Chain A
Amino acid sequence: MNQRPALDLSALPTFGHGPRSPTWWGTLGFMALEGTGFALAAGAYLYLATLWPNWRLSAPQPNHWPGTIVTLLLIVSLVPNHILNGYAKQCAMRPVRIGMVVMSLLGLAPLIVRWFEFPALNIYWDTNAYGSMLWVLLGLHTTHLITDVGDTIVLMVLMFTHHGYSGRRFGDVGDNVFYWDFVVLTWIPIYLLIYWLPRLG
């Protein structure tokens, strides 16, 4: 088919941050589907909780302290996370490197405390459906935590190589910040469901 030039694109930039970049939208898409998974698992938990009059099924109450510590750590980590985002937008290498190290550590810390959360549930997954749902919810979030911390560490290492000097990599840092927000945000309802709903019954 015949063509006639009508538009010149040569002056356009070669990368963009946030909603301008396709990766940001891809991350949002994966958040949407993972969020749906979380919501359905929480829905299944609530469905079973309303089905049985004495939910907890006469199991002991979970010890909320390890979970509460994880919650506090995660909320605190949001501050450096957003400072890092600002530097990533400016493509400033030094502060971004420092920020990535900080975020890697702030990712590992709750993961270590998480290890103590499982025994603090005071029930095993194969005791009854209540125990199963607690383990499933906690396991689901832990999977996200592990994958995102792994992702953060790999990106941190990458930022210390010459590959880091690229607009795209700074964009990746921005998307990593975005995903960490999601990991923190999804934890809040799960925390309430695991540790505080059983106290109502």
Chain B
Amino acid sequence: MSSADLTSERDLPPEREASAKGDVAPERDGPRDTGMDDASLHRWLTRTWRTPPGIIGALSSVDHKVIARRYLITAFLFLCLGGLNAVVMRIQLSGPRRGLIGPDLYNQLFTMHGVTMMFLFAVPIVQATGIYLVPLMVGTRNIAFPRLNAFSYWVYVSGGLFAWVSFALSMAPDVGWFAYVPLSGPEYGPGKRADVWAQMITYTEVSSLAVAVATIVTIFKQRAPGMSLDKIPLYVWSLLVTSFVVVFAMPAVMITSTFLILDRLVGTHIFNPAEGGDALLFQHLFWFFGHPEVYIIFLPATGMVSAIIPAFARRPVFGHLGLVLSLIAVGFLSFGLWVHHMFATGLPKLGASFFTASSMMIAIPNGVQIFCWLATLWDGRPVIRTPLLFVFGFFFIFVIGGLTGVMLASVPLDLQVHDTYFVVAHFHYVLIGGAVFPLLGAAYFWFPKITGRMMSERLGRWHFWLALIGFNAAFFPMHIVGLWGMPRRVYTYPAELGWGNINLFITAGAVLFFLSFVLFAFNLIHGALKGAPAGDNPWDAGTLEWATSSPPPSYNFARIPVVTNVEPLWAEPQALPVATGLRADVRELLISTVAEAHPDIREKSATPSIWPLLAAIAVGGTFLYSIFTPWAIVWGAAPIAVTLIGWFWPKGDPEDEE
């Protein structure tokens, strides 16, 4: 399709004329990028799009790249905290009856490990990667609803601080990341620990949901002209499907945690079997979210794999359409499996068998993805660089995790391994193999784009081998010790069961794995400070984020690219076709149609604002206070309303008026 078709094919929108009539102030025109030379365009756009200077300016930023960088760094710090948790637990378990820590601390540690890794590391980091990359990959200047995006970050970071401050005060939840009732209920969960869990979950999920909506709208409405559905990069597809899964799954956990806090604080009986409630209802609601949660973490990682492989295999992904359909199929099927976390609760046998079948079935679309990636790699010799090494590590580890997942889908087999170290091994193979290894590959892959510098390839290889060996040494033996009868979530075990030696070995592996992250952190810092300059497109990859400079300017693209291929830069190696006609003096970006990405509207994007931060503080304070009294919701309503009105009330910027 030639770029001229984009305008000639479409019908002129009726509102084009309508915009002149009606009670609307006429558009004040300003300088446009048409015909402007590169240097003055850069000056204009920088003045328009930059984050204001100073601390208030920094706190007001709505630039998706600035927010995403903060997200990425915060999530990495939480990863380190969660990892340290794990190391402490492993030292406690390195031998039978060790007295390093008691049950009270241990139970807080494993709860915080789960909560941190799931809610403060994994989901935020895949969403943050999307916040950074999606607008660049679809060729737009900022994410949709940029202030909402800033708000999400403040909510997330305060939710994380809330959890970790409570840990420092020995008030952290100690009921597991799943917080089953009645253990977390009013009768058996004294103190404020389970309340911290409930409110922190509700609160941080607000942030995930907001990011998901912003991501969906960015992908639907802000794609560069010509990027019809079939030309959307697979990474962007994966974020789109993930965001939909977030929209339909996260409300379940918010409902669960809200019901729990109501039971605990105002005396409702939703989960109380003595007064007509039911404890299993909690598990149904929790896992209706909990299983899709795995795919919320895993699907973006498949998108990363789909972005890294073509760059190093030097060809577009084999079976693009098949991969897109697989993503969508996995997204749907992920809602039909939750009961396989509950086989041991004694559900009716027929129902359980249905969930065996559905859990097995999700392996088919996942298999399609694996086979298509392998087929992509078969054309010629791939370029072996660190990002691809981590993708190989992903195959090595994730396939094991997927296969043990098939084992867990079988009801009778699950009854032996459920809640043992076999399951701990399984989901670490899935989550670390399926998400963390691709994320590490993605870090090496996109680091040059984000910082403008390369990470060390030599350290990268060391990092890869250390991580691969450390991971497998730590987690493979857990399958065995689980089959030997070791349950999860035990702070100690007796010597006579004979689990001591293998646990010592596991601990050694865990320490090795942790060290690999120390090496990674060093490589990140070293690369950011002293790495070789990267240039725009160090890997000679084909998607739009590589068309702009590294790091990208605040406005992302001097002119919006026009897309003619799923790998636009490979299709137009000489000169990228671009669109002109946007204003340079206001934050104007292009809104396009959902399916075909025809250009439709020049809309203004929001300017920097401090109000999202203030709103996050108001909402956060309300949640924190609500742990102590339900009246907090009433008292908190006023500051929340004030900050939201401040946020949305126009300030007279041209962006607000038109």
Contacts and interface: CB of A to CB of B under 8 A. Distances in A.
Direct contact of A and B (CB under 8 A): yes
Interface of A: 1-17, 19-22, 25-26, 29-30, 32-34, 36-37, 40-41, 44, 47-48, 51-52, 57, 90-94, 125-133, 135-136, 150, 154, 158, 163-168, 170
18 contacts: A3-B559, A4-B577, A7-B225, A8-B7, A9-B581, A12-B601, A13-B18, A13-B602, A14-B604, A19-B594, A20-B15, A33-B251, A34-B251, A37-B255, A48-B277, A130-B276, A133-B270, A163-B650
Contacts of A154: 645, 648-649
B268 A126 contact: yes
B419 interface: no
Interface in B360-380: none
A14 B536 contact: no
B22 to A, nearest CB: 3
Interface in B555-599: 558-560, 562, 569, 574-582, 590-591, 594, 599
B270 A166 contact: no
A22 B259 contact: no
Interface of B: 3-4, 6-7, 13, 15-16, 18-19, 21-25, 27, 32, 34, 144-145, 148, 209, 212-214, 216-217, 220-222, 225, 247-248, 250-252, 254-255, 259, 262-263, 266-270, 272, 275-278, 281, 284-285, 288, 536-537, 547-548, 558-560, 562, 569, 574-582, 590-591, 594, 599-604, 641, 645, 648-650, 656-658
Contact of A13 (B7, B16, B594, B657): B16
A2 B561 CA distance: 11
A33 B600 contact: no
Nearest to A164: B23
Contact of A22 (B13, B19, B144, B577): B144
Contacts of A163: 650, 656-657
Contacts of A37: 251, 254-255
Given A8-B580, A16-B13, A36 B24 contact: no
Contact of B22 (A11, A19, A92): A92
Contacts of A126: 266-269
B599 A15 contact: no
A29 B574 contact: no
Contacts of B582: 9-10
B559 A5 contact: yes
B268 A91 contact: no
A86 B24 CA distance: 16
A128 B278 contact: no
Given A8-B580, A9-B579, A16 B601 contact: yes
B254 A44 contact: no
Contacts of B658: 14-15, 166-168
A25 B582 CA distance: 23
B23 A7 contact: no
A22 B579 contact: no
Given A16-B13, A132-B269, A91 B24 contact: yes
B599 A12 contact: yes
B220 to A, nearest CB: 6
A92 B18 CA distance: 11
Contacts of B601: 12-16, 20-21
A9 B32 CA distance: 10
B255 A41 contact: yes
A110 B288 CA distance: 33
Given A40-B251, A136-B270, A167-B658, 4 more contacts: A10-B32, A12-B601, A33-B212, A129-B268
B25 A165 contact: yes
B288 A12 contact: no
Contacts of B649: 154, 158
A1 B6 contact: no
Contacts of A26: 144-145, 148, 213-214, 217
Given A15-B603, A26-B144, A37-B251, A44 B270 contact: yes
Nearest to B582: A9
Nearest to B588: A14
Nearest to B651: A163
Which has the most chain B C-beta neighbours within 10 Å: A1, A21, A26, A57?
A: A1
Contacts of B266: 125-126
A44 B594 CA distance: 35
A131 B316 CA distance: 58
A12 B577 contact: no
B267 A10 contact: no
B251 A129 contact: no
A150 B559 CA distance: 40
Contacts of B262: 125, 132, 136
A90 B221 CA distance: 23
A31 to B, nearest CB: 10
A129 B270 contact: yes
A167 B591 contact: no
Nearest first, the 10 closest Cβ-Cβ pairs linking A and B are A91-B22, A10-B581, A129-B276, A6-B577, A132-B268, A93-B23, A9-B581, A6-B3, A29-B213, A126-B267
Contact of B577 (A7, A128, A130): A7
Contact of B217 (A15, A25, A36, A57): A25
A33 to B, nearest CB: 5
Contacts of B3: 6-7
Nearest to B210: A30
B575 A2 contact: yes
A167 B24 contact: yes
A125 B272 CA distance: 13
A5 B7 CA distance: 14
B32 A16 contact: no
B269 A33 contact: no
Contact of B275 (A12, A33, A129): A129
Contacts of B547: 1
B268 A136 contact: yes
A91 B23 contact: yes
A22 B222 contact: yes
A36 B251 contact: yes
Contacts of B578: 3-7
Given A7-B6, A37-B254, A40-B251, A166 B267 contact: no
Contacts of A128: 269, 275-276
Contacts of B254: 37
A150 B640 CA distance: 12
B130 to A, nearest CB: 15
A84 to B, nearest CB: 14
B258 to A, nearest CB: 8
Contacts of A164: 23
Contacts of A150: 641
Nearest to B243: A29
B22 A90 contact: yes
Given A20-B13, A125-B266, A170-B24, A14 B284 contact: no
Contacts of B216: 25, 29
B579 A2 contact: no
A16 B600 contact: yes
B591 A16 contact: yes
Contacts of A14: 19, 27, 601-604, 658
